[in-house]
Amino acid sequence: MTTIKGRNDHVFGRARPSASGAHPIHMEPERDTHFRPLPPPTGRPPFRLDLKSVISAASYRDIVARKKLTFHLNGDMGGIMYAVPQELVAAGMEKDFDPKARPSDNPAFLYITGDCVYFNGEVKEYYKQFYQPYEFYHGPIFAVPGNHDGENLLDDHTSTLDGFVRNFCAPEAVKMPESGDSHRTAMVQPNVYWTLVTPFANIVGLYSNVPAGGDIRSPQTEWFVNELKTLPKSVPLLVALHHPVYSADDHHSGSTYMKEVIDASAKQAHRYPDMVLAGHVHNYQRLTKKHPDGTQTPHLVTGAGGYHNLHHIMLVNGEHMIPPVDFKDKGNDAVTLETYSADHHGFLRLEITDKLITGRYYTVPRPQESFSKGNALLDYFEFDWRKKQYVRNQLSPG
């Protein structure tokens, strides 16, 4: 267990015993996917949270001194009625910590790209789908909401995102009743759209709401443009949202609307994000947008975080695609599917320095496989965020 005194008194993490889970037999309730008005912010504009206020002073000093920030990224975590995949991913992320390593070499936090709790973000599900699975995760957990987090039940008259706001946007780092016997405290994000400020990256989190393909409206759009304009260019700017701009899956596919929101905002601000992070699609994909000037923007889909049903990649002439695959989206954007994993759950580890963003995607064992199989490296890349070009773009660092 870790307690950070003097930094909102956050508490997280202790030693994990073993994975377990129930058998997946359930039906998703009838869905209502209309746009939900946003809940009021819990913090002040411009809705920024400094990592320095959440992690220990010693860890922060080491990150700054060694010029390196490491963190985990995942999405679509909630193990509704079948916890094994989610627990396997949680255990895999825990094993990715090295107790002998310096803080800058270990993940400083986990960032969730939405759908934290299925099916409707209910407060009563937070223990089973959040606090219990991550009770032993060693760091703080941040998030943007997904469509399931904001989709209240048809007969539920509480405010949309009530559970998310209670547990991720609390005014103080207090222990919530729904946390049960977990020691983890609520996070203190200032809004459902917000920016995480760190020494080596700024992560702008958008809430793409409930409708299929997402829906972002005023005042979030104006806020997004302002963040693109005003956040310093001395560190990379990452955008995190739930609905992906691009996806080669056969279930959701990419969102033309999210692409339009990001493109229009970037045009206004004269700045395109250095990397775009998303979930919603239940698999892992690394795609690259190729700009007319020759620069590149990685788009990462990290939606295999625990929900048991994985989404398949599209077939071409009845065959699975073998990356890399070049294609044009509906707006004629040149995009490359660099690699993917659609048959295992897993997690992404990002390391950011003053020059590079290095990514490693690990798969974890399937529930029917031996848990002792451990993490397996599936993807590796190095991206020069200043030149906006890959330095290494291959499946393994060897």
Tens digits of residue pLDDT in 301-343 = 999 999 999 999 987 767 788 899 998 887 888 999 999 999 9
Q: What is the pLDDT of residues 355-371, one digit of tens each?
A: 999 999 999 999 999 88
Contact 130, 163 (CB under 8 A): no
Kindly tell me the sign of the dihedral angle through the C-alpha atoms of 228, 231, 233, 239.
Answer: negative
Q: Kindly tell me if the per-residue pLDDT of 50 is higher than 80.
A: yes
Contact 375, 264 (CB under 8 A): no
Mean of pLDDT values over 161-188: 97
How many domains is the chain built from?
1
Residue 3 is inside which H or E element, if any? Answer: strand 2-4
Helices (H), 211-254: 220-230
Mean of pLDDT values over 212-226: 97
Helices (H), 251-363: 256-269
- Domain CATH code at residue 364: 3.60.21.10
Model confidence band, residue 5 (pLDDT cutoffs 50, 70, 90): low
Contact 382, 356 (CB under 8 A): yes
Q: Kindly tell me if the per-residue pLDDT of 354 is higher than 90.
A: yes
Model confidence band, residue 18 (pLDDT cutoffs 50, 70, 90): very low
Mean of pLDDT values over 103-110: 98
In this predicted structure, what is the pLDDT of residue 306?
A: 97
Model confidence band, residue 21 (pLDDT cutoffs 50, 70, 90): very low
- The partner residues of 326 in beta bridges, in order of sequence, read 336
Q: Kindly tell me if the per-residue pLDDT of 264 is higher than 90.
A: yes
User: Whole domain around residue 264: which residue ranges?
Assistant: 2-394
> Does the global pTM surpass 0.85?
yes
